[in-house]
Amino acid sequence: MKRRAKKGDALLELLKVFLENPGLSFSRKVLQKRIRKTVRTTNYNLNRLVKSGIIRREGSILYTVSERYYLKFVHNGGKRI
């Protein structure tokens, strides 16, 4: 029997990629391959992170802003800060 992913798993996996590689930038395609989720899920979660200020976007490249924002975001239940 396959385990179903919990809601929010993709978001946390995405955050993990950014936090494990501080200072690196990624394109959406690379991130999508890293976390093995659909384009729709990845785009939705990336937009949430960009809106909350955890990651910054310049063109199609994304990078982390700070760990402080990440912690606030998690304690806030994934809502916009």
Q: Give me the residue spans of the domains in the chain.
A: 9-75
Q: Which CATH number fits domain 9-75: 3.90.550.10, 1.10.10.10, 3.40.50.2020, 3.40.50.11750?
A: 1.10.10.10
In this prediction the pTM is: 0.54
- % helix / strand / coil in the chain, to the nearest 5? 55, 15, 35
Main-chain dihedrals φ then ψ at residue 72, nearest 5 degrees: -60, -45
9-20 vs 39-52: helix crossing angle, rounded to 10: 60
- For each of the chain's 81 residues, which pLDDT tens digit applies? 555 555 567 777 777 777 777 667 777 777 778 777 777 777 788 888 778 777 777 776 676 666 666 666 666 665 554
